[in-house]
Amino acid sequence: MGLGMGLGMGGGGMRSVWQQQRSLSQLKDGQMPDIKNTLRRVWRTLLRPYRRNLLAAVGLVAISVVIGLIPPLLLRALIDQAIPHRNFHAVMELASGMLLFPIAGSLSSVGQTYVNTMIAQRVMADLRDQLYRHGQRLGLDFFTWSRAGEIHSRFINDISALQNVLAGTFTGIVSGVFTITFTLATMVIIDWKLAVVSAIALPSFAFPVLHFGRRRYQAVQATQQELARLTMLLEETLTLSGSIVVKSFGTQSYEHQRFAEATEGVRKSQIHQTLVGQWLAVVVQALSSLGPALLYGYGGYLAVTHQIRVGTIVAFAAYLGQLYAPASNLAGINTTLLGGLALFDRIFQFLDVPVAVPLPDPGVQIPPLRQDCPVIRFKGVSFAYNATTPVLFNVDFSVRAGQLVALVGPSGAGKTTILSLMARFYDPREGQVLIHGEDLRVVNDDDFRQKIGLVTQELFLFHASLLENITYGGRAVRPQDVERAIEAAQLSELIERLPEGVNTLVGERGYRLSGGEKQRVAIARAILHDPEILLLDEATSSLDSHSERLIQDALSHLFQGRTVVAIAHRLSTILAAEQILVIDRGRVVAHGRHQELLQQGGLYGLLYEEQFGPQHSTSEPKSASYTARGYDFANRH
């Protein structure tokens, strides 16, 4: 959009819609997930688009399982028939088959792994895209009250941890079920009594799933929470802004202690998660040893009594590995699945954050401005960031085309909130904010953003070149337009001093530039954006007189031909305003021009005396006139 980035929330003691409805916190200790609901949502929103790929994976699994059943039959024939009959030709054929079928099964597994990985990576990419798109739709209240590291942990730690779950769980379950079913069927066909004895221990594999499932879920939740904590700490202390604060106050030892505690938390949680998996493996291994004991005991008895041949026992022993290995894997996969549900729940928590300012789809186009219609109209607007702290009360005013409207008032009066509502960072609780007579809530967002520009106190520059920052959001910007914007924003002298000119990197958040220089970059963005309506928080109290003069000159170009609503910090803006709105405790307590308000006294007179004092003339200088065609800054104060 080519706008200065970010508006503060304004007011105090506020909680966001985000905090009122839901937070990025883990489920309560001991609380199990709604498995059916989570699985249904995973299928509906993530896996269903890839159902054909999943069917292909199931087909490859079935092929692998069938191929895996053949070598034990060949081994049985080799021992019971080919070797006793000294049939060398049959021995070679069976031996060749025992070589070729495993190779074919391995090739099928390669295809299965490829399909699994492809599906997993696509689902992870879809999840990242959904998270990012949802994050873009969320209101400022969410980002005001949420820590960036916690958000980024969803994108990086949680989704990365889903790799194993997505790549192996679905096909692992299908493979296990197919293998157990087909293997049992084959064993029953060969000898049903021996098959029953071999399968006696299978039901016991449900125990580790039930016992370790909850522990696995809780362990994964705890690990991801500790990783999020570590990520937040790194983003706060190992970025430019955080590093400056840490070095300024000499708190390196304190922050290192915090980092060590966070690292210790990660270490302990990951050890606990690993031990849960290890104890699961111990239980599964113990259960897996029960089947062979029963098989060799009963099978040995049948062989000694000449009821079955040795080859059958050997074949059953091979099948037993194919029977109990999938059962063991299913027990592990199901606990892994429960751990995966913890990850999905954390991601879905983010996706379920309500959008406080929903965009209409597609919304109405802003109609041409009628002569009798204001550009902006606040119509009985009341607003609160939560139910207990109202910020604006029944605010009603209009802004005509070409006007400069100044907002003045004490800190916390609601000026920034009014600008935020004009920019549609929030929607009013009551009343309407209208542009060209249309409610902002029904206006097409792209159309609206093309008509409005914003320059604020909190200036954000990307870690990119000066040119990329100036042209950010520009659409088909021509070089001559950039040059005019640079000249109008009084940036030419700065560019001449930079080592690589306009291609110089400005550093993280524009750290290589001064406050005044960053503000002029924001002004250049707005000039290139060429908005019809300009919203301005013109704070320059921290700038030196030279920087302030340059910014005033830049603003004189930016104001030309536009409707401007500004939170006024300079006398020149107040004197030039065609309408001054005096805001106090969320209400418009007075409005008019400078001289009119001075004559009325009241809050405006007090604010004027406090800020500018008696040294300034109370008469309006003739040169401080503003029109839609230009802004005279001859009298700078």
One-letter-per-residue 3-state SS of 2-28: CCCCCCCCCCCCCCCHHHHHCCCCCCC
Report CA torsion sign: 366, 371, 377, 380.
negative
Contact 338, 213 (CB under 8 A): yes
10 Å Cβ neighbour count for 111? 15
Residue 429 carries which DSSP code?
Answer: S
Q: What is the bridge-based pairing of β-strands 430-435 and 630-631?
A: unpaired
pLDDT at site 333: 62
> Average pLDDT by consecutive 10-residue portion of the chain (637 residues)?
38 39 41 71 86 86 85 81 80 85 84 83 86 83 72 77 71 77 84 78 63 69 78 71 65 80 84 76 66 71 76 76 69 64 82 86 86 90 83 93 90 90 90 93 90 81 83 78 85 86 81 81 85 80 66 78 86 85 92 89 84 53 34 31
Contact 189, 316 (CB under 8 A): no
Assign 150 to helix, strand or coil. helix
Phi, psi of 563 (to 5 degrees): -90, 125
CB contact set of 553 (below 8 Å; sequence gap of 6+): 490, 633
CA distances to 419, 456, 567 from 534, rounded to whole Å, are 10, 11, 11
pLDDT at site 329: 65
Structure-token match 């049903």, residue found: 192
By C-alpha distance, which of 460, 385, 368 is closest to 421?
385
Between CA 23 and CA 32, with CA 27 as vertex, the angle to 5 degrees is: 150
What is the side-by-side strand order in the sheet with 390-399? Answer: 390-399, 376-384, 430-435, 438-439
One-letter-per-residue 3-state SS of 64-98: HHHHHHHHHHHHHHHHHHHCCCCCHHHHHHHHHHH
Q: Find the farthest-apart pair of alpha carbons in the chain and give their distance in angstroms, rounded.
A: 123
Phi, psi of 309 (to 5 degrees): -90, 160
pLDDT at site 53: 86
Cβ-count burial 242-268 (b if 16+ within 10 Å, e if not): eeeebeeeeeeeebeeeeeebeebbee
pLDDT at site 620: 43
pLDDT at site 627: 35
Q: Alpha-carbon Rg of the chain, whole angstroms? A: 35
Q: Which domains does the chain have, with CATH numbers?
A: 19-351 (1.20.1560.10), 376-612+624-631 (3.40.50.300)
